[in-house]
Amino acid sequence: MLLAHGVGGRQDLPIPFSAALTGAALALLVSFVALGALWKQPRLDAALTAARSVPAALQTAVTSPAWRWGWRIAGLVAAAYFCIGLIFGPDRADNPTAGAFYVLFWVGLVPLSLLFGPVWRGLNPLRTLHLLACKGLGRDPELGLRPLPAGVGYWPACAGLFAFVWLELVAPERATLPVIGAWLAAYAVLMLAGAVVFGSRWFGHADPFEVYSDLVGRLAPAARRGDGVVVWRNSLDGMAGLRPAPGLTTLVVVLLGSTMYDSLSNAPVWVRFMQESSVPAPVTGTAGLVAVIAVVLAAYRAATALAGRWGAARPGTTAGETAHSIVPIAVGYVVAHYYTLFLLEGQRTIALLSDPLDTGADWLGTAGWTIQALGTTPAGVATLQVTVIVIGHVLGTVLAHDRALALFPRRTAVLGQIPLLVLMVVYTVVGLLLLFAA
């Protein structure tokens, strides 16, 4: 990445780091006990039947064609502006392309999706180009040359997400224009070719950024219900609506595992190992990324298999049924890991975007910006990192508990959740150790 993941370390916490670890684990244990005592029936409303409609004026605005086309045009304009620096700008450190791609876009998708829902579905310029081409040819954009096979699920998006995190964390010269351009060209070709063959549904299953935004957007406070009405909702209701699908478990584990690897790659022990190793850095980095994701996946599979056995669930169902509980955990890690990167490098990138060709221009009026601290004191950042990671795990515990009540027989519901609780505690402790390893 362009910057280290944070400016706060364990020495900056207002309490000893060991106390923070203990407190985080205790927070999960207390949550588990409280849920077992007070939450005895499934409560989350995945269908949003009891959700309250947004005001009529807002309802009319956000369901209008003008609203949808406003997002589409904004996506096209932003993509075109991005391509100016990518294609015509100098390949130097002050080119805004890398910052716009890795920071404003990738990291910025999280707060945007948390606030507004699956924003990339509306902004996605490739989806819009496909829609315009279909309109010009008089074709239904949802229909391709053949139907999308049911077993595809999220596997294409999973592969695309791994390809992106490999680019972001491992690829040589990953901040240079040729590398970014080649990756984006391959991404665009694969997405558009898939849309031609399978129709616009392809984007919802294969575009890693759209699927990522959709997952995070399930925590947004508003959503469009199945009947088309936009409603206010409990954020966990939205996540409860995420049902098992092929590739979903691996997808959410790639999200979590890749962020953990990013923390590991900044740890002194890993940096020293990379420097002293005779193996090329891309090979070692790739092996490390795959290994961390594999360990996270193996731990999840083992815990859910044991939970299913203790909870007397139908064999092979628990992993998929509880995969949604990993999403808020992954979101917590992303916020903790990239908070300072987004604020500091984001400001620098916005300033550079005003002059993408490095001609002395100030197209956006931001060229003279100076980077402001904006709440990035070491103590504040360290405290925030611990807090959001714990909140993510507590939300994951709530989601797993509610799903377990529906998945397991009542007599074994609590017993079946114990392996999941242990997994959450392990993820919390390991995640904090990696995050503060530096």
H helix runs in 84-154, sequence order: 97-99, 109-116, 119-123, 125-137
> Which value, to the nearest 10 degrees, does the dihedral of the CA atoms of residues 137, 140, 145, 150 take?
160
Q: For residue 148, give the DSSP letter.
A: P
| Separation of alpha carbons 377 and 344, rounded Å | 12
Cross-sheet strand order for the sheet of 52-53: 52-53, 230-232, 222-224
Distance CA(425)–CA(337), nearest Å, equals 19
Q: Which long-range contacts (CB under 8 A, 24 or more apart) does 381-384 make?
A: 381/6, 381/7, 381/8, 381/12, 381/339, 381/340, 382/6, 382/8, 382/9, 382/10, 382/12, 382/13, 382/436, 383/8, 383/13, 383/14, 384/8, 384/336, 384/339
Structural domains in the chain (count): 1
Query: The domain containing residue 270 runs over which residues?
Result: 10-435
- Residue 173: the pLDDT is 95
Residue whose entry in the numeric block shows the structure tokens 């829609």: 131
Residue 183 vs residues 105, 166, 215, 342: alpha-carbon distances, Å? 15, 11, 23, 22
Domain-located, residue 327 = yes
What kind and span of H or E run contains 230?
strand 230-232
The residue among 416, 421, 422 whose CA lies nearest residue 310 is 416
**pLDDT score at 6:** 44
Query: In terms of C-beta density within 10 A (0-12 exposed, 13-18 middle, 19 or more buried), how is residue 113 classed?
Result: buried
Instruction: Note the pLDDT of residue 21.
Output: 86
Position 3 in a domain: no
* 173 phi-psi bin (left φ>0, alpha ψ -120 to 50, beta other): left
- Residue 12's pLDDT is 52
Residue 55 falls within a domain, yes or no? Answer: yes
Is residue 223 a part of any domain in this protein?
Answer: yes
* Helix or strand holding residue 224 (H, E): strand 222-224
- Determine, yes or no, domain membership for 4: no
Mean pLDDT by 10 residues, the chain (438 residues): 45 68 90 92 93 96 96 98 98 96 97 97 98 97 95 98 98 97 99 98 98 98 95 96 96 96 91 93 97 98 96 92 96 92 94 96 94 80 89 95 94 94 93 82
Phi–psi pair at 223, nearest 5 degrees: -160, 160
Q: Which two tokens stand for residue 254?
A: 């790639």
Structural domain contains residue 372: yes
Give the number of other Cβ atoms within 10 Å of residue 366's Cβ: 15
CA-atom Rg of the chain in angstroms = 22
Tokens of 196: 């031609």
